[in-house]
Amino acid sequence: MAETSPPLSQHSAASITCVKKLSESPDLNSIPSCYAYYANPAETMASDPHDSVPTIDLSLLTSDNPDHRSKAIQDLDKACEEWGFFMVVNHGIPEQLMRAVIDVTNEFFNLPEEEKPEFQPQNVLEPIRYGTSFNTAIEKVFWWRDFLKVFVHPDFHCPHKPHSLTEVVTEYCKRSREVVRKLLRGISESLGIEESEMEKCLGLDSSLQIFIANLYPRCPNPDAAVGIAPHSDHGLFTLLIQNQVAGLHIQHKGNWVHVTPRPNSILVNTGDHLQIFSNGKYKSVLHRAVVNKMKARISIAVANGPSADTVVSPAPRLLQTQGCRPAYVPMQYKDYLLAQQSNQLNGKSILERVQIQD
């Protein structure tokens, strides 16, 4: 294992600093031992995928040409079923806006600490959260990342600084919701469920949307640290963009593979609640973030879920038409979110709690 520095004095939220500050320490030659996640450097390795990562052309998914639309729906169905992950092109979000949200996020992380929101608030469902790792109150090993998590729909929240953050995040998240609704229309058609029925079952008019900005500073021991540990996402679809620094791995057919985004594309992964709603037809994807010693990486993940109060279960129409039993126990979305965010993030541990065993 790579050499690490002595542990920090206490593993408590009160004594943990942001990783950005730690990484800028002039005498930091190795990470503190409480950031040593991997014992074997080979665990951080990933390969190029043998198959091409699926690409969904959103303009075809919304096309007036029935053949184009039908083919795009089939492609979306296959991507969600076999990969749980795909790239979206021709999505309608201006490239300039995508760059702006990355830039303004970088500005936020570069603000003096006293100008940022409270660091590590105790309530994991606080609408504005700025912190580090995932849940330092209970973690024994920390992640090499700082984050900003903001609830942006149905009620909009945002830090006051930098001044352009509110405007840019508002527009980007609005455009992201439009992309997600178009994807969900394709999903409803693929599952044989009326769009209005899906909207009602999931409370999509009041859908909970969370803007998550991640900063992964340069790391002296990238083969020992982790940016984000392997996990699946809550919700329906997570949309992700990043600066020009690689670091996303997804698990496909049991192997970790690199993801190299196409220019101006948006990366999309299916969430646990799409898996639940589809009664296991679609699979949420395990993914992780790795770090490097050369450049800081910024990623913007926008999580799109049902409404917070919705009790999510397999779609009744789907169970009826397929004549099958539900594979998941109904659970209110906000309770699921609280359970996930209050614990250590570990694979699909929360999803496994609601899965009905044969």
Confidence class of residue 15 from pLDDT cuts 50, 70 and 90? low
The pLDDT, as a whole number, for residue 120 is: 80
pLDDT at 6 over 70: no
For 66-91, write each residue's pLDDT tens digit: 999 999 999 999 999 999 999 999 99
What does the alpha-carbon distance between residue 102 and residue 96 come to, in Å, rounded to a whole number? Answer: 10
With vertex at residue 189, the alpha carbon angle to CA 184 and CA 193, rounded to the nearest 5 degrees, is 95
Q: What percent of the chain has pLDDT over 90?
A: 82
In the structure, what pLDDT confidence band is assigned to residue 52 with cuts at 50, 70 and 90? confident
Rg (CA), the chain: 20
Position 3 scores a pLDDT of 46
Q: Look at residue 258 and tell me whether its pLDDT is greater than 60.
A: yes
Nearest residue to 265 (alpha-carbon basis) of 300, 296, 240:
240
Q: 7: pLDDT confidence band, cut at 50, 70 and 90?
A: very low
For the chain, give the mean pLDDT.
Answer: 92
Which pLDDT does position 124 carry in this prediction?
A: 86
Confidence of residue 357 (pLDDT cuts 50, 70, 90): confident
pLDDT at site 17: 83
Mean pLDDT of 160-174: 97
pLDDT score, position 198: 95
> Residues 138, 344: contact at Cβ < 8 Å?
yes
pTM: 0.94
- Confirm if 196 and 188 have CB atoms less than 8 A apart: no
Report which residue type is found at 299.
Answer: S
Distance CA 346, CA 353 (A): 12
Does the CA dihedral 37-245-172-130 come out positive or negative? positive
Among 209, 179, 188, 174, which residue's Cα sits nearest to residue 90?
179
Distance CA 65, CA 262 (A): 25
pLDDT of residue 220: 96
Q: How far lies 101's CA from each of 38, 95, 175, 258, in Å? A: 32, 10, 12, 24
Is pLDDT of 8 > 90?
A: no
pLDDT band at residue 41 under the 50/70/90 scheme: confident
Residue 1 has pLDDT above 50, yes or no: no
CA distances to 69, 133, 253 from 5, in Å:
55, 18, 36
